[in-house]
Amino acid sequence: MQINDVARVTGLTPKAIRYYEAQSLVIPHQRASNGYRIYSRENLDHLCFLQHARAVGFSVKESGHLLALYADQANHSASVKALVAEKLSQLQQKRKEIERLEATLTDLWACCDGQENSRCAILDRLATAGFDTNFPRDSKEADNV
């Protein structure tokens, strides 16, 4: 199959397929005499694998690592499970950060009456030195940043 056929079957763009080739994740089965890439069934399977890994949040590098484990007949599921556990841990950390940001924004939103005043409670809160952030709170700490 040529790249446009592969793109149609997999739902990937030709640009994405070329990117995976540039990253040495999928190497076309052969090149036609005109230079066109010719993809095998195995290439399609690997592209679909990469697409699925990316869809559940793995980076290109992580997806490539998983693909290498998939292609290795001697792979051990323990190492794959460890990669998934690490990804879950990262997602849990991101969720906590998003929840913290959501709570902070909700609090900011609630402090504003939304009227056409010359002062904005949200801006005033953001300007307050005691605002709950990870930024240094006094000039001595600021000098150490």
Round to whole Å and give the CA distance between 21 and 144.
45
**Pairing between strand 30-31 and 37-38?**
antiparallel
Q: Each residue of 108-138: pLDDT tens digit?
A: 999 888 888 778 889 988 988 666 655 444 4
Residue 75 pLDDT grade (very low, low, confident, very high; cuts 50, 70, 90) = confident
- Amino acid identity at 25: L
For the record, the structure tokens of 61 come out as: 């590098």
pLDDT at 137: 42
Q: Considering Cα of 96, then 100, then 103, then 106, what sign does the dihedral take?
A: negative
Q: b/e for 40-56, b at 16 or more Cβ within 10 A?
A: eeebbebbebbeebeee
Domains, the chain, with CATH or none: 1-75 (1.10.1660.10), 92-132 (no CATH)
What percent of the chain has pLDDT above 70?
A: 88
Element (H, E) at 38: strand 37-38
Pick the range with the lowest mean pLDDT from 6-10, 31-35, 53-57, 73-77: 73-77
> Would you call 31 helix, strand, or coil by DSSP?
strand
- Amino acid identity at 27: I
Neighbours of 37 (CB within 10 A): 20
